[in-house]
């Protein structure tokens, strides 16, 4: 049973915004560790992910959501629905966009917010390290005219600029509440989910524009060897066509080995022990358009 301590502050915070504006990078920066994957490709975050920040006398539970965008595919509709749903469940809403993105990209989000019960809404204006002071001031002035925002904080998730100010502003909006998560817990997702996400990140980074969006990862086995400091992981990369499988595997298995090596290095850093990682590619035709397949793969 969670006890309510009147001197303790807590709250759930939704991170929402258009695709590929640095929401996952911002969450990782706040937490000081990687719990959400980062990729130059849009729409890499598919599930709502809770990252927990523990401060002195307070706790923030962040929900990193898929980018909100217009969409036609079943997979993307599921992702956007997840993002919109998260807005209605939290105590604070943190909208993230980047300084050079068109203003109308967050119009869908603003429309949704204006029709909801009042709660604190903070805009994090990301990537200020790429803009001139004049551009920053002009953008702040534009968003300042939107009545929906309680505060607007310019930040650089990549370099850490403005993060302390953002955290102070978020803390002001917390209310007395329980400590929802243990002090050593940084995410509510199981380790297998984080392993799959790290592998999926490396797929995007190492296949670049060759591979379409339709790649998913499931962890088949994850076991620590009893006789030595070694974690054995076996995972499957699901693709939709033989040609996609060929891209993943590469000539003589070179590409899947490259993906596996990059993922293994991150996994060893995360778990703090040696990792033996086996990767396999499997064709599952049209999985991103199949409701049952989406459910089985965790979407």
pLDDT per residue as tens digits for the range 176-197: 999 999 988 888 878 888 898 8
Judgement on whether residues 131 and 221 belong to the same structural domain of the protein: no
Position of tokens 């590619």? 281
The pLDDT of residue 71: 46
Lowest mean pLDDT among 54-58, 130-134, 223-227, 230-234: 223-227
CA 8/CA 269 separation, integer angstroms:
32
* 175: confidence class by pLDDT, cuts 50, 70, 90: very high
How confident is the model over 88-111, as pLDDT tens digits? 778 999 999 999 988 887 777 777
| Range(s) of the domain holding residue 215 | 191-296
In percent, how much of the chain has pLDDT > 90?
42
Helix/strand number for the chain, H first, E second: 9, 10
* 73: confidence class by pLDDT, cuts 50, 70, 90: very low
Q: Report the phi/psi class of residue 298: left, alpha or beta, with left for phi > 0 and alpha for psi in -120 to 50.
A: left
Domain count for the chain, please give it.
Answer: 2
Average pLDDT in the 116-140 region? Answer: 90
Judgement on whether residues 51 and 165 belong to the same structural domain of the protein: yes
Regarding predicted confidence, which is higher, 281 or 47?
A: 281
Judgement on whether residues 153 and 214 belong to the same structural domain of the protein: no
Q: What are phi and psi of 212, to 5 degrees?
A: -65, 180
Judgement on whether residues 37 and 143 belong to the same structural domain of the protein: yes
Residue that terminates a domain, selected from 176, 206, 226: 176
Q: Are 96 and 126 in contact (CB under 8 A)?
A: yes
């Amino acid at each position: 049973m969670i006890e309510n301590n009147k001197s303790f502050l807590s709250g759930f915070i939704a991170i929402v915004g258009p695709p590929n504006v640095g929401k996952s990078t911002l969450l990782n920066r706040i937490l000081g560790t990687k719990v959400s994957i980062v990729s130059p490709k849009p729409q890499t975050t598919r599930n709502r992910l809770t990252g927990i920040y523990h401060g002195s006398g307070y706790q923030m539970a962040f929900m990193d959501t898929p980018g909100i965008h217009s969409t036609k595919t079943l997979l993307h509709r599921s992702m956007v629905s997840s993002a919109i749903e998260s807005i209605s469940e939290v105590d604070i809403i943190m909208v993230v966009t980047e300084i050079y993105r068109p203003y109308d990209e967050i119009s869908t989000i603003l429309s949704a917010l204006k029709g909801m019960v009042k709660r604190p809404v903070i805009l994090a204006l990301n990537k200020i390290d790429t803009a001139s002071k004049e551009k920053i001031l002009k953008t702040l002035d534009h968003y300042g005219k939107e009545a929906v925002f309680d505060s607007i904080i310019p930040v650089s998730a990549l370099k850490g600029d403005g993060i302390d100010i953002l955290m102070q502003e978020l803390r002001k909006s917390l209310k007395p509440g329980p400590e929802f998560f243990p002090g050593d817990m940084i995410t509510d997702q199981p380790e297998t989910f984080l392993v799959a996400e790290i592998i999926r990140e490396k797929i995007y980074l190492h296949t670049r524009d060759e591979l379409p969006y339709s790649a998913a990862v499931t962890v088949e086995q994850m076991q620590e060897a009893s006789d030595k400091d070694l974690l054995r992981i076996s995972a499957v990369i699901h693709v939709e066509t033989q040609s996609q499988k060929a891209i993943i595997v590469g000539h003589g298995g070179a590409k899947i080995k490259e993906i596996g090596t990059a993922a293994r290095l991150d996994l060893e850093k995360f778990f703090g022990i040696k990792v033996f990682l086996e990767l396999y590619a499997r064709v599952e035709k049209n999985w991103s358009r199949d409701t049952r397949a989406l459910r089985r793969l965790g979407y």
